[in-house]
Structure 1
Amino acid sequence: MTEEVFAAGTVCWTRDARADGSEQVLVLVIHRPKRRDISFPKGKLEPGESLPQAAVRETREETGLKVRLDQHLGTIRYDLSGNRRKTVQYWAVQVPRKRALEAAFQPNGEVDAIEWVPIDEVRGRLTYSADQELFDVFLKLAEHDHLDSFSVTLLRHGKALPRAQSGEPDHLRPLTDFGKAQAAALVPILDAFGPRRIYTSTAVRCVETVRPFAERRRKPARLTDAISQDSWDAGELAGLRELIAAIVSRGKNVLLCSHRPVLPDLARELALATGGRIGAYLEEATTLPTAGFSVFHLSRRHPEAGILSVETYPLKH
């Protein structure tokens, strides 16, 4: 039986000014002395770690850069010795130029050098064809001016007490102990995507789900009836539409915690607000178990381009 080895990495990029005053995109590559190759930051998962967490951690360990993930670029698979197969997932990551210059890189046994390379020179520098093919996805984003992106994360609340057991009105039902454990487990995974604002339904089960993450990021959770199930049940969707429109116009990473019936409408309004395609993929991305979430990526420079990509994470325990 083939042993699966999972790893995660990033394609980091930044913008810099040329001598003539125009902008250019620079991409980070690393040199690994043991393998004598040029590649992108990546590494294997630690026990209990998710792929997004591993991508962020490995990038920091290998380059000194503290990053948050942008668009998912794809997956590379290749065979290893000893009947093993490696699967590596990659994300694009925008790095502000100042941070790129100030990265506290220290040469080590894994990586002895990093270099910011002009985008049109990167493919020819990469050692492996699999990395080149992955980079082609990145190049296509650059070609359409979609590298600058932001994300909208739609999260379903954690496991709550059943109505019959809680004895409270629906919106006052708290999380179970299992639901509280789910909320705690979500923190490092959500943190990998760096939400700047947190919106939650006013229902107790939603508020309790985002509380550990809000405390970790030291950001207030913004309570709103616009994405509550009570408002949805009453057919009151105007507030939901207004919130999504404001999020799209702002162009910053956000997290919204809501309810199973409300999530498909949130995704649909997100597509409508950006000129995106309405289709079954929206329903698939919002049919989530408790504490599951989907990350929708949109173009910051061209929000009218619609939803660029979606990645879904049904929380595992």
Structure 2
Amino acid sequence: MSQAILAAGTVCWRRVIDPSGDPAGRIMVLLIHRTKQRDVSFPKGKLDPGESMPQAAVRETEEETGLKIHLGVNLGTINYALGAGREKTVQYWAAEVTPQAALASTFTPNDEVQALEWVPLEDARKRLSYKADRELYDVFLRLAAHDLLETFAITLLRHAKAEPRSDLFPVDSLRPLADSGEKQAETLPPILECFGPRRIYSSDAVRCMTTVGPLAEHLDLRIRAKRSLSQDFWDEGDLTKTRKLIGKLVARGRSAVVCSHRPVLPDLARELTLATGSLPGEYLAQAAALPPAAFSVFHISRTRPGAGILGVETYPIKH
């Protein structure tokens, strides 16, 4: 069988306030009517060369619907045969559409998408043309049933490749990034942006601050340097301030990027589980065992953070 064709998409949703109904609003889900295929599905499309799954999901959603979104919890993967020995793999995320994004949509009917249709949560499943889409939507429905659709993301990022310890850099916290690490740092902003970070926290070590520098510039955000995220602080053995910081991030309920060091990351992941009442497991070790410039995205409910971590995605950065 030939190599799988990779694609990514979203299940877009929004709350519409009904003055005569539930004050929390009614959940509506976006379906697209494709022109050539004459079917009803979700926004999706193939990856461009060098593009990651999250980037493709965000780009394809905007191209097909005119909606600018950030990715919520990962819903899973659909695999299906295309014929002639080919297979397609599609990764999906939930994506909340804000009122501002809905108003700013530039969609007009075109050769690819004939129409957009906002459908009540309970009606969307039977409108979908394909069984695989309906099974994916069942995952979305389970999250909705437990009021877990509104999420935020805490991204744990290991700093990019740094210069090795040597006589040139006698103070560990002042070691700069290697040339390859600087290239890694430049590749991070487009993919990290997909998860909608509102704040950037970093160890005060030079190699961490430099890693998130391009992201801060790209998003026009300041870097909040924290010694409690540094390896020097971790070596001292008292993680009280680190626990307090992670607790504040969870309580705030806003997406954030946290850049730190390899030895510190397992404790940061553990603090996330403690702050959300999550069950421990091997997934934590895997999420924290990151090579330089790699990151793990932890999805947490904004309305019910104590429900635990809803999902974790890990992404390596190659260079």
Asked whether the two chains share a fold, i.e. TM above 0.5, the reply is: yes
SS in 1 for 2:166: helix
Match of 1:297 in 2: 299
Q: How does 1:180-199 map to 2 (within 5 A)?
A: 180-199=182-201
Deviation >6 Å, runs of 4+: none
Offset of 1:167 from its aligned partner? 2.6
Secondary structure at the aligned position of 1:75 is classed as strand
TM-score scaled by length of structure 2: 0.97
Deviates more, 1:99-108 or 1:79-88: 99-108
TM-score (norm 1): 0.98
Q: How many residues align?
A: 317
Structure 1 counterpart of 2:18: 18
Give 1:238 deviation, angstroms: 1.1
Deviations 1:120-147 (A, max 9, x none): 0000000000000000000000011000
- Which piece of structure 1 moves more, 199-208 or 167-176? 167-176
From 103, 106, 109, the counterpart of 1:107: 109
Question: Partners of 2:203 and 2:104 in 1: how far apart?
Answer: 39
Please name the residue that 2:87 is paired with. Answer: 85
What is residue 152 of structure 2 aligned with on the other side? 150
Q: Which amino acid aligns with 2:208?
A: C
Which has the larger displacement, 273-282 or 95-104? 95-104
Q: Distance in 2 between matches of 1:266 and 1:195?
A: 18
1:198-209 maps to which residues of 2 (within 5 A)?
A: 198-209=200-211
From the superposition, tell whether residues 105 and 268 of structure 1 become closer, same or farther in structure 2 (CA, over 3 Å): same
**Within 2, Cα distance between the matches of 1:98 and 1:171?**
42
**Contact 1:3/1:83 (8 A) holds in 2:** no
Structure 2: give runs of 5+ residues left out of the alignment. Answer: none
8 Å contact from structure 2 (residues 301, 307) kept in 1 = yes
Contact in 2 for aligned 1:55/1:90 (Cα 8 Å): yes
Q: Give the fraction of aligned pairs with identical amino acids, expressed as a percent.
A: 59
The farther-off stretch of 258-267 and 95-104 is: 95-104
Q: Does 1:212 align with 2:214?
A: yes
Separation of aligned partners in 2, 1:316 and 1:109? 36
Question: Is 1:3 paired with 2:12?
Answer: no
What is the DSSP-based 3-state SS (H/G/I as helix, E as strand, rest coil) of the residue aligned with 2:133?
A: helix
User: Equivalent residue for 2:66?
Assistant: 64
2:213 & 2:149 partners in 1: Cα distance?
Answer: 31
1:49 and 1:29 map into 2 onto residues whose CA distance is 24
Q: CA deviation at 1:82?
A: 2.5
- Structure 1 position 187, deviation (Å): 1.1
Q: Give the aligned residue type for 2:3.
A: E
Measure the CA separation in 1 of the matches of 2:19 and 2:204: 52
The SS at the match of 1:214 is: helix
1: distance between equivalents of 2:100 and 2:153? 22
DSSP 3-state at the match of 1:68 = coil
Task: Assess if the C-alpha contact under 8 Å between 1:42 and 1:58 holds in 2.
Answer: yes
SS of the residue corresponding to residue 135 of structure 2 reads: helix
Deviation, structure 1 residue 19 = 4.8
Q: Structure 1 residue 100: deviation in Å?
A: 1.8
- Aligned residue in 2 for 1:255: 257
- Match of 2:144, SS state, is helix
The one of 231, 239, 248 equivalent to 2:233 is 231
Q: What is the DSSP-based 3-state SS (H/G/I as helix, E as strand, rest coil) of the residue aligned with 2:195?
A: coil
1:27 alignment partner AA: V
Contact kept, 8 Å, 1:33 with 1:111, in 2: the verdict is yes
Say if 2:276 and 2:307, in contact at 8 Å, map to a contact too: yes
Partner residue, 1:170: 172
Shift of 1:15: 0.1
RMSD: 1.0
Deviation string for 1:247-299 (max 9, x for gaps)? 11100000000000101101101110111112221111010000000000011
| Structure 2 CA distance for aligned equivalents of residues 164 and 178 of structure 1 | 18
Retained in 2: the 8 A contact 1:286–1:294?
yes
> Residue 54 of structure 2: which of 46, 52, 55 is its match?
52
Displacement of 1:183 in angstroms is 0.3
> Match for 1:227: what amino acid?
L
Q: Which residue of structure 1 aligns with residue 243 of structure 2?
A: 241
Contact kept in structure 2, 1:6 and 1:45, CA below 8 Å: yes
The CA deviation at 1:96 is 1.3
Question: 1:165 Cα deviation (Å)?
Answer: 6.0
Query: C-alpha separation between the residues in 2 aligned to 1:101 and 1:82?
Result: 42
| TM-superposed deviation, 1:213 | 0.5
**Runs (5+) with no aligned partner, structure 1:** none
* Aligned mates of 2:169, 2:54 — CA distance in 1: 38
Residue matched to 1:269: 271
1:112 Cα deviation from its structure 2 partner: 1.2
Name 1:122's counterpart in structure 2.
124
